[in-house]
Amino acid sequence: MPLICVDCRYVGLRPSGIATVVKGLIDHLPQLAAGCDFLLLKNPATQGRLTSAENVREIVVNAAANGPATMWWLSQVIDFSQVDLFHAFPDIPDVPVARSAAREQTVRIRGPRMLPGIHALARAV
Would you list the DSSP string of 48-92?
S-S---TTEEEEE--S-TTSHHHHHHHHHHS--TT-SEEE-SS--
User: What confidence tier does 22 reach under pLDDT thresholds 50, 70, 90?
Assistant: confident
What is the reported pLDDT for 39? 95
- pLDDT of residue 10 exceeding 80, the answer is yes
Instruction: Report the percent of the chain where pLDDT is more than 90.
Output: 24
Q: How far apart are CA 89 and CA 103, in angstroms?
A: 6
Pick the closest to residue 105 from 86, 120, 123 (CA basis): 86
- Write the pLDDT tens digit of every residue in 75-120: 888 888 888 888 877 656 556 555 555 544 444 434 444 445 555 5
**Inter-residue contact 106 to 25 (CB < 8 Å):** yes
User: What confidence tier does 52 reach under pLDDT thresholds 50, 70, 90?
Assistant: very high
Instruction: Report the percent of the chain where pLDDT is more than 70.
Output: 71
Enumerate the domain spans of the chain.
Answer: 3-124
Q: What are the C-alpha distances in Å from 123 to residues 11, 26, 85, 120?
A: 28, 20, 11, 5
Least confident of 34-43, 63-72, 99-108, 115-124: 99-108
